[in-house]
Structure formats: C-alpha cells, structure tokens
Amino acid sequence: MRKGEYYQVGYTVKDKNTLERELKPLDTINDHNSKYLLTADYVPYTSYNGIKK
C-alpha cells in the first residue's frame, strides 16, 4: 500500500491569521500521512502539530 502525503501551498504566512488559515485544512485531516505547508518564507524548519513547514 502506498503512503499518501498532503501539501498546502501559500506564498507567505508571516501574518498569524494567514498561518492559522493555511494550517487549518491540514490540521483537520485525521490520518497518519505526512502533512506539509510550503511557502516562500525563509525560516528554519518548523513543525505545527506535526505539520512540517
């Protein structure tokens, strides 16, 4: 069985409200597949409740 991955893409999430908006769809998925938030922001590796940015 192939493991799935989820991606959410946003240009920037420097604003707290934008970050929350972009994370919400991934946070509502209740399986154990990998979840990623891709942005153009230059920040060190970060994880939000298991969602890798």
The type of residue at 46 is: T
Q: For 41, which DSSP code? A: -
pLDDT at position 2 is 64
Domain ranges of the chain: 5-52
User: What number is the average pLDDT over the span 15-27?
Assistant: 95
1 has pLDDT over 60:
no
- Calculate what percentage of the chain has a pLDDT beyond 90: 79
Cα atoms in the Cβ-side hemisphere of radius 13 Å centred on 12: 4
Can you tell me the distance from the alpha carbon of 15 to that of 32, in angstroms, rounded to the nearest whole number? 28
pLDDT at position 44 is 83
Q: What is the pLDDT of residues 34-47, one digit of tens each?
A: 999 999 998 888 89
3 has pLDDT over 90:
no
**Is the C-alpha dihedral spanning 7, 10, 15, 17 positive or negative?**
negative
